[in-house]
Structure 1
Amino acid sequence: MRHPLCGKTALVGMGTAGIGAAPGFSAMELLGLSVRAALDDAGMRVSDIDAVFAATNIHPCASMSVSEYLGLKPRYFDATNIGGSSFELHLLQATLALQAGLCNAALICYGSNQLTAGGRLAFMSDPQWHETSYDARGPITGYALAANRHMHQFGTTREMLADVAVSARQWANLNPQAFARGPLTRDSVLSMRMISDPLTIGDCCLVTDGAAACIMVRSERARDFRKVPVYFLGGAAANWHRSIQSMPDITVTAAKESGPRAFTMAGLSHSDVDLVMLYDAFTINTILFLEDLGFCPKGEGGRFVQDGRIAPGGSLAVNTNGGGLSCVHPGMYGMFLIAESVAQIRREAGERQVKNVDIALLHGNGGTLSSQVTAFLGSEAAL
């Protein structure tokens, strides 16, 4: 039985800005451009917004900074920051606020000029971590540890990891907005410079600029706006650790908990899912999340992604925008899972459009496989 919140809110505006490289713009300016795009998409004015949900890498009080920049005095605001999965959690938090009558139009947003401001992967470190003295290259070293353990325990190979990157690039080649396009083969991924064994550059996410914003309202208002509404069907979060050294098992993430709870809230099964959007900061992420979310047994993720199964034309549509590996990754990627899901459900994805997408699973990740948030979005047909 579906949760009472299933389908009670909807996304009515979606906007992006500065995907790839946007020289000359600050992070907040890019965020503002994405908000303008979301407002235009919905046919709304900025004064219609009365709730703000935001998280960034550079604004410690993000919702207040955003409200100030946009000239808003919101009735409700939240700056929960659990890393890249923050925005999937914001979908649930905004739904709670809307249903409680605390607001009428909720803005969820993110912006970063990470590439043009410095061109390096940003990572929020913790001086209390025990591995700090070893000069670990965060967050890459943690993900490399997980990949190495998965390879040792289950026979996963570097070729299997590379196949994740190749599939993502094949989707990106169908997406004119993707930052990294062009040929990519398994051999080319394997031959790239090693960053943290066994992960090469090709196994690691991009460093880009980019911003995205969406607007949520209660479902009874959803048809009053310009575009086809996309409904929030359910979501759940789980967190078992902060530092990788405290992870109970570095081949099992808390997606194993958030996934089943989100499926239950939405009243869905795996066979209902038309699109899977995973936070692929590194190739091992895709393999771990496919396992922990129940699309294949634990240890079989590497074999699951082979033979084009998650590439265009494969049996499971995964990361159809090209993901963080080939489309966009401006420090925190979770908003772009939402943007691609909305595009696919609205049938606005152009050449990469998957047929008959009515239900999308989004899975966000924060820290070093730390915060895990699973959410479902769907069309009116999914209600």
Structure 2
Amino acid sequence: MTNEMRGKIAIAGLGYAGLGSSPGWTAMELMARATKVALEDAGLTIGDIDGLCCSTFYHFFPSLTAAEYLGIQPKWSNSDMVGGSSFQSYVLQAAAAISAGLCSTVLVAYGSNARSSRNIAGLLETPLFDRMVQAPLPITGYALAAARHMHLYGTTRRQLAEVAVAARQWAMLNPDAPPLPSLDIEEVVAAPTIADPLSKFDCCLVSDGGGALILTSTERARDLKQPLAAVLGGGTAHWHREISQMPDLTVTAATESGRRAYEMAGVMPADVDVVQLYDAFTINPILFLEDLGFCEKGEGGRFVEGGRIGPGGSLPVNTNGGGLSFVHPGMYGLFALAEAVIQIRGQGTTRQVDGVDIALSHGNGGTLSHQATTILGSESSL
């Protein structure tokens, strides 16, 4: 995909299914349920799909398994697995495939029964050097990053708590979120420590769920059912696999993925109306807000103070409640994309932000390892 492709591909359908706890449903069944919703949302049928991108924790050949299960024979497929950012990466790759004429309509899908099966940790590869110290991953890696940020920049536990509280406030406006009670900063700070300095409420939910997106040309999407959500730009980058090999615990490859996405989209951080960030832990949004240019390095903790990223704040972040308070079925990236689409369409009901024309969705894979940024725009952004 090149700059000339800005806005030429769009997300025409979205769906999710089985969020929260769905005992008795397999990952593939949840993916299929979400695909059905996405097809109905777009006004398409399974016969329209000729491209496929998908991943799960449970399948060695996910695109082969999903295609067989769904009854499609795609012209092009990809299941490059880079963790929770896979889906932002898939959007970029699918857009390139459509623009190159390799296919016309791509399904991006995910399914997980992480909560009901309690089956994730045993499936995850433990990197070599991390294995030597027998650290429970991934939380200890994020705790290292949080502790380093606190040491270098004076970031506080209360500032981390601001991220969790804002996410909960957004989730309470989202009818699809679980019925969680309200949360305040004191509760987050006083909660049991899981990996110092991160407490219980600094950590994401463990959920079941399936999600699906459908991409096609913008020209075709205009004739389908939903308001336009065009792909304006995207970028990916990765610098390490293991947290012990991360060049700087406070700087992520989002500095590169974001720059490439902004350049392709022809926008700057100040142009972005809503931001959907991969918030597996509260340190993540602080790092990504810095690395994506919304504030200077080291200012992220102060930036989120005072409800700035919550409802009514100057920069709405994770308007669905994020992985902290909405859903996190092992990998969250697809749901961050779906919320960006919902906000662009103006379909967020009680959580809808006024006048959204530009939405940024950012995915994180591994332990702050792979970063992928997608920028979407409304019809008026083209």
Alignment TM-score > 0.5, same fold: yes
**Alpha-carbon displacement from aligned partner over 1:293-345 (angstroms, at most 9, x marks no partner):** 11111011001101000010000010000000000000010100111111111
Match of 1:218 in 2: 217
Match of 1:136 in 2: 135
The offset of 1:32, in angstroms, is: 0.2
TM-aligned CA distance change 1:173 to 1:234, over 3 Å: same
The offset of 1:130, in angstroms, is: 1.1
Match of 1:34 in 2: 34
> For 1:16 and 1:345, how far apart are their aligned partners in 2?
17
CA RMSD of aligned residues (A): 1.2
Match of 1:256 in 2: 255
Match of 1:23 in 2: 23
The offset of 1:83, in angstroms, is: 0.3
Work out whether 1:48 is the aligned partner of 2:48: yes
**Alpha-carbon displacement from aligned partner over 1:64-121 (angstroms, at most 9, x marks no partner):** 1110110111111100110000000000000010011110110000011100111766
TM-aligned CA distance change 1:122 to 1:182, over 3 Å: farther
Percent identity for Structure 1 against Structure 2: 55
Match of 2:177 in 1: 178
The offset of 1:261, in angstroms, is: 1.1
The offset of 1:153, in angstroms, is: 0.6
> For 2:347 and 2:121, how far apart are their aligned partners in 1?
30
C-alpha contact (below 8 Å) 1:120/1:207 kept by paired residues: no
TM-aligned CA distance change 1:291 to 1:122, over 3 Å: farther
Amino acid at match of 1:100: A
The offset of 1:124, in angstroms, is: 2.1
> For 1:190 and 1:60, how far apart are their aligned partners in 2?
40
Secondary structure of 1:111 counterpart: strand
TM-score, normalised via structure 1 length: 0.97
TM-aligned CA distance change 1:122 to 1:256, over 3 Å: farther
Secondary structure of 1:89 counterpart: helix
The offset of 1:133, in angstroms, is: 2.1
> For 1:180 and 1:239, how far apart are their aligned partners in 2?
36
Q: Where do residues 151-230 of structure 1 align in structure 2 (5 Å cutoff)?
A: 151-179=150-178, 181-230=180-229
**Alpha-carbon displacement from aligned partner over 1:217-273 (angstroms, at most 9, x marks no partner):** 111211121111210001000100000011000000000111111100000011210
Amino acid at match of 1:369: L
Gap runs ≥5 in structure 1: none
C-alpha contact (below 8 Å) 1:121/1:331 kept by paired residues: no
C-alpha contact (below 8 Å) 1:121/1:207 kept by paired residues: no
> For 2:160 and 2:179, how far apart are their aligned partners in 1?
18
Secondary structure of 2:148 counterpart: helix
> For 2:346 and 2:269, how far apart are their aligned partners in 1?
21
Match of 1:60 in 2: 60
Q: Where do residues 306-325 of structure 1 align in structure 2 (5 Å cutoff)?
A: 306-325=305-324
Gap runs ≥5 in structure 2: none
**Alpha-carbon displacement from aligned partner over 1:15-43 (angstroms, at most 9, x marks no partner):** 11011111221111010000000000111
The offset of 1:123, in angstroms, is: 6.5
Work out whether 1:71 is the aligned partner of 2:79: no
Match of 1:332 in 2: 331
Secondary structure of 1:58 counterpart: coil
**Alpha-carbon displacement from aligned partner over 1:271-301 (angstroms, at most 9, x marks no partner):** 2100100000000001000000111110110
> For 1:121 and 1:43, how far apart are their aligned partners in 2?
38
Amino acid at match of 1:225: L
Work out whether 1:88 is the aligned partner of 2:94: no
Work out whether 1:351 is the aligned partner of 2:350: yes
Match of 2:14 in 1: 14
C-alpha contact (below 8 Å) 2:270/2:294 kept by paired residues: no
Q: Where do residues 113-152 of structure 1 align in structure 2 (5 Å cutoff)?
A: 113-118=113-118, 124-127=124-127, 129-152=128-151
C-alpha contact (below 8 Å) 1:123/1:138 kept by paired residues: no
Match of 1:107 in 2: 107
> For 1:109 and 1:282, how far apart are their aligned partners in 2?
23
> For 1:336 and 1:62, how far apart are their aligned partners in 2?
19
C-alpha contact (below 8 Å) 2:85/2:363 kept by paired residues: yes
C-alpha contact (below 8 Å) 1:53/1:109 kept by paired residues: yes
> For 2:116 and 2:216, how far apart are their aligned partners in 1?
34
The offset of 1:190, in angstroms, is: 1.4
> For 2:290 and 2:104, how far apart are their aligned partners in 1?
38
> For 1:74 and 1:65, how far apart are their aligned partners in 2?
12
C-alpha contact (below 8 Å) 2:67/2:74 kept by paired residues: yes
**Alpha-carbon displacement from aligned partner over 1:172-193 (angstroms, at most 9, x marks no partner):** 0100111252210111111212
- Which deviates more, 176-185 or 238-247? 176-185
> For 2:276 and 2:225, how far apart are their aligned partners in 1?
25
* Residues matched between the structures, number: 381
> For 1:109 and 1:72, how far apart are their aligned partners in 2?
14
Secondary structure of 2:213 counterpart: strand
Amino acid at match of 2:296: P
- Which deviates more, 178-187 or 342-351? 178-187
Amino acid at match of 1:36: K
Runs of 4 or more, structure 1, over 4 Å off, are: 119-123
TM-score, normalised via structure 2 length: 0.98
> For 1:182 and 1:356, how far apart are their aligned partners in 2?
29
**Alpha-carbon displacement from aligned partner over 1:333-373 (angstroms, at most 9, x marks no partner):** 01001111111111111100000111101110000000000
C-alpha contact (below 8 Å) 2:20/2:208 kept by paired residues: yes
